[in-house]
Structure 1
Amino acid sequence: MADWLAAERIDAVVDATHPFAARMSASAAEASARNGVPLLLLRRPGWHEGPGDAWQRVPSLEEAAARLAGMPVERVFLTTGRRSLPVFTGLSGVWLLARSVDPPDAPVPANMHVLLDRGPYTVEGERALIREHRLDVLVTKDSGGEMTAAKLAAARELGLPVIMVDRPPPPPGVRVVDAVAVAAAWAQG
């Protein structure tokens, strides 16, 4: 990336990758710093716990799996992305419903059913899915955004606990904004 920035004579970089694309953001920060190119990180706002929510925040997927292992649950709803599923392979005594846009690569837990689906989702649809599969807990990453927030509203309505995986921190020294208009003004200016 550093070579490309130099070859194309890029004046500024706006990193608008997924909030969990830590390696991509680190690469952008390293390449920008190496070339003296200003960098701005645009991240949509994360989700915030509200009245009636029962969230447990954890710093990593591994901690989410460990937390599940210590909970009295039988049926888990995973919306953490297909690449995260191997982290949950060691869980026993629980059934996992993993929703993913694309099919996961092996290994996936034997006690897992994969539902291929893409948002946006509705609260009614999420409520029906939770009831149909008799889910006990939701495990998700704090990706933010409206396309997938309905699962949180449905969990709140049904009294379902949520294990929320916190976002990785931004690269050191990188300015973070949460509005496209702010990023656009910065890039123009």
Structure 2
Amino acid sequence: MALYNLFDLAEPAYLLNGVLMPADGGPAEIAQAGGGVVTLPAEFRHPLRYFSRLRLRSEALASGSGSGIDAADLDAMTRSGILWQLEPGDAAALAGQLATLRLHVRAPLAADQNRPGLIVLDLGDGAACLISEAGRVLLERTPGRELGAVVGDEIQTTGAAPAVVWRRVAGDLTRLLRTGAAAATARAL
């Protein structure tokens, strides 16, 4: 299923709550906001890697998805806080759920920025994530801050209606999280 904007969400979506630290072997480690690290047995590495990109529930549970988990596993990982869950709802409810996220940009700007109005993030191996200039401003203001505070700054600066700013942010945020160009932490585990 295609997902272009989190504000158009029709089913729950899931994302790893933190950044999976790279390793060739051994336990799986998730870096959290504030410098904490959660360590899990090595067999968790595959599903954690799968959820390092935002996934819809139907995607994760589909036969052949590569997630390596079933519905009970998905629910347990969400309850434990390993996965962050975004529930569908109206604009205010979705903004409230997104407000607590802290973004961690994982992809650098591409060397060649030749697309007018779009910023190109280099995902490696020739892949790219395109975001708007507003998305770039979001990324510049985000480090160490919750998304709600960043959006609040933008609302104050531009005088735009909150719903307009949140919808614009949600479009870029969707691309960042679906491609893996950014990770997010909702709260410490």
Structure 2-normalised TM-score? 0.27
Structure 1-normalised TM-score? 0.27
Which of the two has higher C-alpha Rg? 1
Q: Which has the higher helix share?
A: 2
